[in-house]
Amino acid sequence: MSTNPTPLKDVIKQEYVKCAKDPAYFMKKFCMIQHPIKGKIPFDLYDFQESSVNEFEQHRFNIILKARQLGISTITAGYSLWMMTFHSDKNILVIATKQDVAKNLVTKIRVMHANLPSWLKQQCVEDNKLNLRYKNGSQVKAVSSGPEAARSEALSLLILDEAAFIDKIDDIWTAAQQTLTTGGQCIALSTPNGVGNWFHRTWVEAEEGRGMFNFIKLHWTVHPDRNQEWRDEQDGLLGVQSAAQECDCDFITSGTSVIDGVILEQCRDVMVKDPIEKRGVDSNLWIWEPPDYTKNYVVCADVGRGDSKDYSAFHIIDVEKVEQVAEYKGKIPTKDFGNMLVNVATEYNDALLIIENASVGFGAIQSAIDRDYKNLYYTYKQDGVVDATTQLTRGYDLKDKSQMTPGFTTSSKTRPLLISKLDIYFREKTFIVRSTRLLDELAVFIWKGHRAEAQRGYNDDLVMSLAIGLWVRDTALKLRNDGIQLSKNAINHIVKTDGLYTQNDVHKDWKWQEGSDNGEDLTWLIK
């Protein structure tokens, strides 16, 4: 006996409900994708793709560490289309390192949309290369990375495509978090691009169960059509190092790290602390210890151009403990940075103020000179290499300023010395580091040939300012202290008789003993 077929409208209704409830089902049943050889084909999801889509549904924030060519951008596009199709007023933003990369994801969405059956397809009111907007109020927009990229109205979904390669992503993410506070989601996907960047840090936090992101790792072996023969071919096509990143999901640097990564991780585990205070409009002055009037400090600074592309940075170091007590990294006009340096140096017991004097550095130095700061570091012009003996004998005698240059001079001769000193401090674990920002810079501070510098796309402002401070601490300041100790030892050999200067055993101060009312304090000799 025959049965009546289900009316078409009921079938459509059932399918619509299934699709609305299950984005993976929606993609498999009704989405088409553009294959480079076969043309338009049904989107038959692999198991790892389907499980990833299910993760999107279960977690607001997802970070995906992926091998190349696994179709993860495609499932992200499919998920975006599903959200726009079955929900009103959804606002989706795609950010990538280049506009073409971001546009490519929107193109995937457009292809899927164009090939939907009419009863699923939403009406478009705007359709161009960078934007697709539906009559129901939902839209997707593609932008390239930039300081204003994520500064928009509230977002339903933020997609960070190839997140490890996005320039200034730390600033972008800071801005983006404000747009996601109403319940928006984020999908950050990428192959690795070295260590120390936002994507690497966020992935590590997720793996360790910290932070807000759910982590999804997609090794090349998840693809059912790939075998060891395919993987071996990638070494020849991409190079061993690139293949390790793009196939094996290995975080490696593009060169040999100046400071061993194991040491940096030990520092991060043992020494790093949250600041007790964050100052400034940008909250970029981090303080771990307030000034102690019994201690000596060094303020060592690297001056940026003061524009949107460059940072100024400084550290405040406890000279005796060799401990980081404060740090600044931010974008600030040069003159304002100079005034800030004088203010913090004064606050920290008139600390020795060392400002790197390359080009724009003189603007900050001039601010210190204009304010008549007395403890500014000078370098002798004729010194091709920073000479510690010269610093001891002449560096603090400023009578002949015509022969001296204010600030520290970094040159092809001095730079290797600075890097060597930095390396020694970290290998011997004699510098107490508190800052995650500094460790992040050190993680991507690598050897390029014979020169140590930041990996491409990153900066080393904190690294170089620290290197200068440690060098001066171990040369000029150390030798000056050695000279003071020699003076003390010499005075200790003075025969003590009535009416001579002697040393108080308790307080170690020098005073006139026995019978003189007009004696002179000798403290100046040894302080």
Q: Write out the chain's pLDDT in tens, 527 residues.
A: 556 677 888 888 999 999 999 999 999 999 988 887 888 899 999 999 999 999 999 999 999 999 988 999 999 999 999 999 999 999 999 988 877 888 888 899 999 999 999 999 999 999 888 889 999 999 999 887 765 665 667 899 999 999 988 888 888 888 888 888 888 999 999 998 877 788 988 998 898 888 899 999 999 999 999 999 998 888 888 777 678 788 888 876 555 778 887 888 889 889 999 999 999 878 899 999 999 999 999 999 999 865 556 789 999 999 999 999 999 999 888 889 999 999 999 999 999 999 998 777 788 898 899 998 989 988 876 544 444 444 433 444 455 556 678 888 888 778 888 888 898 999 888 999 999 999 989 988 887 767 888 877 788 999 999 999 999 888 877 655 554 455 455 545 544 444 444 555 544 454 444 444 444 444 443 44
Give, in degrees to the nearest 5, the angle at Cα 158 between 154 and 163: 140
- Annotate 79-123 with DSSP letters as a single string: HHHHHHHHSSS-EEEEEESSHHHHHHHHHHHHHHHHTS-TTTPPP
The C-alpha atoms of residue 89 and residue 80 are separated, in whole angstroms, by: 13
* Residue spans per domain, the chain: 8-252, 261-480, 494-526
Within 10 angstroms of residue 185's Cβ, the number of other Cβ atoms is 19
The arrangement of strands across the sheet holding 323-330 comes to 277-279, 285-287, 323-330, 312-318, 297-302, 352-355
Length of the chain in residues, anyone?
Answer: 527
Residue 102, both tokens: 């971001």
Q: Class of 261-480 per CATH?
A: alpha beta
The C-alpha atoms of residue 470 and residue 24 are separated, in whole angstroms, by: 56
Bridge partner residues of 127 (DSSP)? 132
Helix and strand numbers, DSSP H then E, in the chain = 18, 23
Helix (H) or strand (E) holding 388: helix 388-394
Asked if 454 and 485 touch (Cβ cutoff 8 Å), the reply is no
Asked if 306 and 312 touch (Cβ cutoff 8 Å), the reply is yes
Give, in degrees to the nearest 5, the angle at Cα 515 between 513 and 517: 90
> Hey, what CATH topology would domain 8-252 get?
Rossmann fold (3.40.50)
Find how far residue 506's CA is from the centre of its chain. Answer: 49
